[in-house]
Amino acid sequence: PLKFNDEALDCVVVSSSLHHALILENVLDEIYRVLKKGGYLLILNETPNSYLFYTVKSIVLSVRILLNIVFRKYSAVSPSISSSGTLYDPYLGDKRFPLWYWIKSIRNSGFTLESKIDSKLGTLKGKKGLSLVHFICKK
């Protein structure tokens, strides 16, 4: 929970952090609670995946997990998959969310998505095909 009263803030800025959320929509709901009516949420530096990219990466991760099971390869920490996101780096808590999931989560939390801006800038980790994206949302 955010330690602010309801409708206390004009603007909330989150940068390179929402992909660590256990449940993205819960975090967005809490941000919505603390924003004043007409307030803005700026989501900066995220890497939403296209439907195809997300599907392919999920299949690759599924095969890797299946092979670990078949060959009884022990791992204290393991990636996980769901229809809403994949935890691909359990050590850092990095999750991969498809673009459609970002948009639905933003809208389900009550926000209006005013703009999605593709910065065309690569990620710090240099992942090919992924550029940093910003979402501008209004309560």
Strand order in the sheet with 35-46: 9-15, 35-46, 131-138, 112-122
How many C-beta atoms surround the C-beta of residue 55 within 10 A?
12
pTM of the prediction?
0.89
Two tokens at 36? 């004043």
Query: Could you read off the pLDDT of 58-92 as tens digits, one per residue?
Result: 999 999 999 999 999 988 888 888 888 899 888 88
- Candidates 56, 76, 78; CA nearest to 67 is 78
Query: Could you read off the pLDDT of 12-44 as tens digits, one per residue?
Result: 999 999 999 989 999 999 999 999 999 999 999
Q: What Å distances lie between residue 15 and 30, 47, 128, CA to CA?
A: 16, 11, 20
